[in-house]
Amino acid sequence: MLIAALLAAFAFGACAGSFLGVVIYRMPRNLSIVMPPSRCGACGTQLAARDNIPILGWLLLRGRCRHCGTAIPMSCLYMELAVALLSALLVWAVIRLPALHSAWIYAAASSSGEPSIAFWLPQLAAMSVLLLLLWLLIAEVLIDWSHLMIPDELTKGLQAVAIPLAVLAGTNLFWPWSPIIESAVVLSLQTVFSVNVSFNADPQYWFRSWDVMNGWIGTPTKAAWTLGLVTAGALGLIALSLPLARRIYGRLKESWEERDHLAMAKGAWWFIGCTVLWTVPAIIFIATRDPGSFTNPYNTGLLLAYALTQAILGSLLGWWLPWTVGLVGTMAFKRNAMGYGDVKLFCGLGAFLGPVGTVVAFMFATIVGTLVGIPARLMGGGREMPFGPSLAVGAVLAVALGPWLAPLVLGRLLG
């Protein structure tokens, strides 16, 4: 079954690679990715179905057009092979390393008493979601690397579905909250507002509290209110920061036009709308849970509520990290310090990482950007290096290393 799954992933990946090649070429040029159908770039003849088979079609044609004999770029073959291999690797990881996906779906399936469902359902959900995310990231990375831009069609589409898909993937459960992070949050609030702040910031304890007499007590109402207030505060600050962003970016030497400011505002409001769209049902779902069900740490409803909360908080932090770096960096260096496409990409990825994983991914991205970007810029004659590929690599590393690195890092931090 493993071999069959890998072969299927390779085949689907090759097809995805063929389509991604079209997306990567046409989308930055504002061309339709559907029409016209694939054709020879030299003679314009539409490719026959047998010539359009991924990998095999190129090999059978020996890399040349059947009609005019013009060479077909090797990049087409490389793209199909690379995406096929990466897709097979991802499927292998999901099957062989169950820590890489949906703990809460396993719990739900196990409670149904169906071992087959408990084994296959979470794997199928994780495979489907993570494959789509992989293919999306490949397109975004290659477009950003070549054109220094990430199309809104990709980033806004990801934002619209990131929260529910992240819950299916379950990857936002890897990096748990820790007392170190909680202390940092409390200290930050005390510094900003100059008041003594004392509260439990760990989202896990929004759903349950410990009573000396009764043990664990479910607190769905408290969790719903807390999630709503945190989300409203974070989104409200985004809206309030737009005039500041307009002022900061309006002072750049490469002066922004009015359409640039409008595009920034539309992007921010799109993210706010997408977040509200999924946060409201999440709050209703949490608020209507039976308090007694939240006393069981393995309850399906509790795990689902926690996964939703992690996705929402991760998405919010995924916006605020690059957004803040962009505002502060632009103001300090008098040049654009962070592409807006990076902000729109990372907030979508944040849903798959959770709040702690988002911070880890951003740290990884910074390291990758430094190690790769500086040499690449020097060898490229000072060419501007995009940060989007580094963000994508950082997110992949945070997901891939999360189950093993999180206990190691937190264990050392906490002694």
Q: Is the pLDDT of residue 55 over 90?
A: no
Share of the chain above pLDDT 70, in %: 80
Is the pLDDT score of 275 beyond 50? yes
287-296 pLDDT, tens per residue? 999 998 888 8
What angle do helix axes 103-111 and 115-147 make, rounded to 10 degrees?
160
Say whether pLDDT at 6 is over 80. Answer: yes
What is the pLDDT confidence band of residue 95, given thresholds at 50, 70 and 90? confident
Q: What is the mean pLDDT of residues 36-65?
A: 72
| Mean per-residue pLDDT of the chain | 82
Distance (Å, rounded) from C-alpha 144 to C-alpha 389?
Answer: 7
pTM greater than the 0.85 cutoff: yes
At 115-168, the pLDDT tens digits run 455 557 777 888 889 999 999 999 999 999 888 889 988 999 999 999 999 988
Mean pLDDT of the 243-267 span: 85
Q: Confidence band (pLDDT; 50, 70, 90) for 376?
A: confident
Please, which residues have CB within 8 angstroms of residue 372's CB and are 6 or more apart in sequence? 385, 390
Query: Cα(163)–Cα(278) distance, rounded to whole angstroms?
Result: 7
Residue 414's pLDDT is 46
Provide the pLDDT confidence category of residue 191 given band limits of 50, 70 and 90. low
Query: Of 180-184, 274-278, 301-305, which gets the smallest average pLDDT?
Result: 180-184
Whether pLDDT at 39 is above 90 = no
Q: 415 falls in which pLDDT band (50, 70, 90)?
A: very low
pLDDT over 80 at 196, yes or no? no
Q: Mean pLDDT highest for which of 28-37, 74-83, 331-340? A: 74-83
pLDDT surpasses 90 at 322: yes
Predicted local distance difference test score (pLDDT) of residue 288: 93
| Spatial separation of the C-alpha atoms in residues 268 and 155, rounded to whole Å | 12
